[in-house]
């Protein structure tokens, strides 16, 4: 699909009832009810706090693809994109080939307790993405059971990443990142990893026409406790998707669009091809993620007579069912090897807080004062 077609599909089928970062069962249940004429909806289990965990089955094809989102409760961008995808599949004949060739099993929110509390962990404070071997949590056991029952040919492990990540050591945010996880300690490029790499390469090629130089890959250090590594170890090609930062998009609405496009590109490729990994080499054209960003950098600040930079990161906080971004001073030092998503030049002046006191590490405030001028630190 050409990029203009992808954009039109997104604009036509974006699920408008899902917006910004706080997405819970309460938000998706009405959408699941609307899908019942098109998809098979099941409650496949319950969370620690006995909240239902749903699965969505669509398509009739022989190629089976398992997709799960919000394993980490505060990583909701891919969930929004899944419902955009479902809206498209249910309404547009342009993508009917996906439904004819593939069967999708989708778990939209694997960690509903974490989603409601807006935390990475589940209600027992366990990272489900480190529980693939112990299977100590009901959500982990449920995912494994769905995996064993569905017997997927491909797995999509859907996550979100922080604003600190860059595509390589560059001033380009990693808006979308991928990984074909390792399946052994020496990170062998196995046959099924090659399949995952080929699909990632196809997505990257198209995304470069949309967000050039803003796609990265994660380092493939092996950890069998991670779900992706475990499923790859079971010889099922597994792809990690990471929704990252797009400039001035703290609600992750633009990133959502690129994740949606990645879904359509990859699913269309799987539907139309017998992917054997023969074209996996393009994967290695994608730069590895680095951590080169702060949300804000105040350059050339005079702090106690020293010329330094001030690095600020947003702390995501749940307030009245909305996510607020609290600016926190993380570092006060020379930050010449870092970039800010927003940069302010203090030009050698002192930087004060709202009480006209010099700011310090750990400082949280909506604005700073430089030369009697107020500079907002709030996200757009």
Q: How many domains does the chain contain in total?
A: 2
Instruction: Please state the φ and ψ torsions of residue 221, each to the nearest 5 degrees.
Output: -50, 135
Are residues 145 and 30 both part of a single domain?
A: yes
Q: What is the pLDDT of residue 226?
A: 98
* Last residue in a domain, options 244, 264, 290: 290
Contacts with 29 (C-beta within 8 Å, 6 or more apart), sequence order: none
For residue 324, give the 3-state DSSP assignment: strand
Are residues 235 and 370 both part of a single domain?
A: no
Number of residues in the chain:
380
Are residues 268 and 306 both part of a single domain?
A: no
* Last residue in a domain, options 255, 273, 290: 290
Are residues 125 and 48 both part of a single domain?
A: yes
* Last residue in a domain, options 290, 310, 334: 290
CB 164 within 8 A of CB 314: no
Specify the CATH number for the domain of residue 333.
Answer: 2.30.40.10
Specify the CATH number for the domain of residue 239.
Answer: 3.40.630.10
Please give the model's pTM, rounded to 2 decimal places: 0.98
Tokens of 39: 């998809």
Are residues 182 and 270 both part of a single domain?
A: yes
59-118 pLDDT, tens digit each: 999 999 999 999 999 999 999 999 999 999 999 999 999 999 999 999 999 999 999 999
Are residues 355 and 326 both part of a single domain?
A: yes
Are residues 7 and 44 both part of a single domain?
A: yes
Q: How far is CA 101 from the centre of its chain?
A: 26
Are residues 326 and 235 both part of a single domain?
A: no
Are residues 256 and 300 both part of a single domain?
A: no
Q: What is the pLDDT of residue 1?
A: 81
User: Which residues in the chain come in under a pLDDT of 50?
Assistant: none
Are residues 156 and 272 both part of a single domain?
A: yes
> CA-CA distance, 236 to 191, in Å (whole number)?
10
- Give the range of the structural domain holding residue 306, as residue numbers without chain letter: 294-376
Are residues 93 and 17 both part of a single domain?
A: yes
Are residues 155 and 230 both part of a single domain?
A: yes
């Amino acid at each position: 699909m050409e990029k203009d077609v992808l954009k039109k599909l997104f604009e036509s089928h974006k699920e408008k009832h899902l917006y910004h970062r706080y997405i819970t069962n309460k938000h998706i249940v009405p959408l699941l009810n609307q899908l019942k004429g098109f998809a098979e909806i099941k409650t496949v289990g319950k969370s620690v706090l006995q909240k239902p965990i749903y699965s969505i089955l669509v398509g009739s094809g022989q190629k089976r693809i398992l997709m799960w989102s919000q394993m980490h409760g505060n990583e909701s961008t891919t969930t929004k994109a899944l419902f955009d995808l479902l809206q498209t599949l249910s309404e547009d004949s342009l993508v009917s080939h996906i439904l004819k060739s593939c069967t999708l099993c989708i778990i939209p929110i694997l960690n509903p307790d974490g989603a409601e509390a807006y935390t990475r962990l589940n209600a027992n404070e366990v990272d489900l993405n480190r529980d693939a071997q112990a299977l100590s949590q009901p959500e982990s056991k449920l995912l494994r059971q769905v995996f064993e029952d569905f017997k997927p040919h491909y797995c999509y492990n859907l996550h979100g990443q922080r604003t600190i990540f860059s595509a390589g050591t560059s001033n380009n945010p990693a808006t979308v990142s991928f990984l074909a996880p390792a399946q052994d300690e020496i990170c062998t490029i196995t046959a099924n990893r090659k399949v995952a790499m080929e699909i990632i390469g196809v997505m990257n090629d198209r995304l470069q026409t949309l967000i050039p130089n803003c796609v990265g890959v994660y380092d493939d250090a092996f950890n069998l406790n991670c779900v992706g590594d475990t499923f790859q170890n079971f010889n099922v090609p597994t792809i990690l998707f990471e929704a990252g930062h797009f400039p001035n998009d703290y609600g992750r609405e633009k990133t959502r669009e690129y994740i949606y496009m990645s879904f359509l590109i990859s699913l269309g490729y799987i539907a139309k091809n017998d992917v054997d990994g023969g074209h996996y080499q393009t994967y290695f054209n994608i730069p590895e993620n680095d951590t080169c960003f702060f949300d804000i950098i105040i350059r050339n600040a005079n702090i106690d007579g020293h010329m330094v930079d001030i690095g600020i990161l947003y702390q995501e906080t749940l307030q009245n069912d909305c996510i607020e971004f609290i600016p926190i001073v993380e570092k006060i030092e020379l930050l010449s090897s870092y970039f800010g998503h927003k940069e302010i030049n203090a030009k050698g002046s002192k930087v004060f807080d709202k009480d006209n006191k010099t700011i310090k590490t750990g400082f949280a405030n909506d604005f700073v004062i430089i030369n009697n001028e107020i500079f907002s630190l709030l996200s757009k």
